[in-house]
Amino acid sequence: MIRVAQIGVGYWGPNLLRVLATSPRCEVAAVVDLSQERRDFVRGLYPSIHVSDNADSIISDKSIDAVVVSTPVATHFDLVCRALQSGKNVLVEKPMATSVQEIDQIAELSKKVGKLAMVGHTFLFNSAVRYLKDCIDKGVLGEIRYIYSQRLNLGRIRSDVDALWNLAPHDISIIQYLLGDPEPLRVTRSGMDFVQEKIDDVVFMNLEYPNKVLAHIHVSWLDPQKVRKLTVVGSKKMVVYDDVADEKIAIYDKGIDRKAVLGESMDYDNPMPQFVHRTGDILFPAFSWKEPLKVEVDHFFDCIEGKATCIAGPDHARKVVGILESGRGD
């Protein structure tokens, strides 16, 4: 059994703790949070778990194999480095750190001590996203032309990060995963702060990738609707992934094809091309569904035990944060 400790039980932390506490592969040895309210919350649900407000007690405990970090973004780098230096594997909530430079230091330290550093990009473990990735890899959609995503809600407003750093890591991670983790050629951003000065509530980000692939990301916590949607347009077919819908994936057999027209010289070199709109069936595929967070935690354990290669390590985390940095508002 892997002995695990968790630091932070705030917004996302209770979900992580639930998955860890019910996993047959680990023992939750301790939980740390600075808030008395959150510590009481944990004690009420998990009376057998040791709870404190002292992260040092976890980091110095040699019996603990792995640490899960679910704290404010600004604390990630310090906590991850301290845990690695103490010989522990680390799973940290997204983003892994606040800069590419910090992630490079984490990667170097992880390699030096021979311990895993993994970031919780949960959508990499989402069954619908993985089904979409498989469609792209098998050429079902043809050549990818563009991708656009919307992550909107009249929701929780943060003061430590803006809407881009809070919400867009999900979409950037998904897009990078779908395209094979390439380096974008160009990143531009447009955002505005309405509620808090210098903290953008809405952001539009555009990315240009090699092979004429475009991507657009729209994030906001000032929107009347809850939207979690990503559309992929290919030369053969198009897909809409809607995370809040019952049918997560819809594959549209739609497109515009060039029509071959016989010319005067008995060839198809007509200088005035003609096009035909193709409209076929809409497919709602069936696929097995597992809670992404459980799949993520199992992947973390598999990597610790040498059964898998981490798909959310510093290399992937670096590209996500690099894109966020490229579009950082001044």
| 56 and 132, same domain (yes or no) | no
In this prediction, residues 232-252 reach a mean pLDDT of: 96
Looking at the structure, tell me whether residues 77 and 59 fall in a common domain: yes
318 belongs to a structural domain: no
Asked, for residue 299, whether it belongs to a domain, the answer is no
What residues contact 105, with CB distance under 8 A and at least 6 apart? 77, 81
Work out the average pLDDT over 47-53. Answer: 95
pLDDT surpassing 80 at residue 261: no
Q: Does one domain contain both 275 and 135? A: yes
Query: Residue 215's domain spans which residues?
Result: 124-291
Residues 163 and 99 in one domain: no
Q: Residue 326: pLDDT band by 50, 70, 90 thresholds?
A: confident
- pLDDT exceeds cutoff 90 at 272: no
Domain boundary among 120, 135, 151: 120
State the pLDDT confidence band at 156, using cuts at 50, 70 and 90: confident
Residues 150 and 111 both lie in one domain: no
Q: Is residue 301 part of a domain?
A: no
pLDDT band at 330 (very low <50, low <70, confident <90, very high): very low
Q: What is the mean pLDDT of residues 282-289?
A: 92
Q: Residue 263's pLDDT is what?
A: 59
The pLDDT mean for the chain works out to 93
Domain match, 86 and 139 both: no
Structural domains of the chain, count: 2
Q: What is the structure's pLDDT at 268? A: 54
Verify that 29 and 68 share a domain, yes or no. yes
Is 177 among the domain residues? yes
For residues 46 and 132, membership in a common domain is answered with: no
User: Would you place residue 278 in the very low, low, confident or very high pLDDT band (cuts 50, 70, 90)?
Assistant: confident
DSSP 237-284: -EEEEETTSSS-EEEEEEEEEEEP---TTSSS--SS-EEEEEEEEEE-
pLDDT in tens, 183-210: 999 999 999 999 999 999 999 999 999 9
pLDDT value of position 327: 62
Q: Which residue has the higher pLDDT, 146 or 160?
A: 146
In a domain? residue 328? no
Same-domain status, 241 and 177: yes
CATH of the domain at 103: 3.40.50.720
Same domain, 114 and 128: no
- Is pTM beyond 0.85? Reply is yes
118: closest CA among 108, 129, 107? 107
Question: For residue 280, what is the domain's CATH number?
Answer: 3.30.360.10
Residue 305 is inside which H or E element, if any? Answer: none
Q: Is residue 145 part of a domain?
A: yes
Over its C-alpha atoms, the chain yields an Rg (Å, rounded) of 22
Domain-embedded: residue 313? no
CB 19 within 8 Å of CB 297? yes
325 domain residue, yes or no: no
Query: Which of these three, 97, 120, 143, is where a domain ends?
Result: 120
pLDDT of residue 265: 59
pLDDT tens-place string over residues 168-183: 999 999 999 999 999 9
Q: Which amino acid, one-letter code, is at 93?
A: E
CA distances from 28 to 24, 246, 307 (A): 11, 33, 21
Strands 202-209 and 213-220: antiparallel
pLDDT for 70-117, tens place per residue?
999 999 999 999 999 999 999 999 999 999 999 999 999 999 999 999
Q: Which residue, 90, 120, 150, sits at the end of a domain?
A: 120
Are residues 132 and 113 located together in one domain of the fold?
A: no
The verdict on 133 and 259 lying in the same domain is: yes
- Given a cut of 90, whether residue 264 has pLDDT beyond it is no
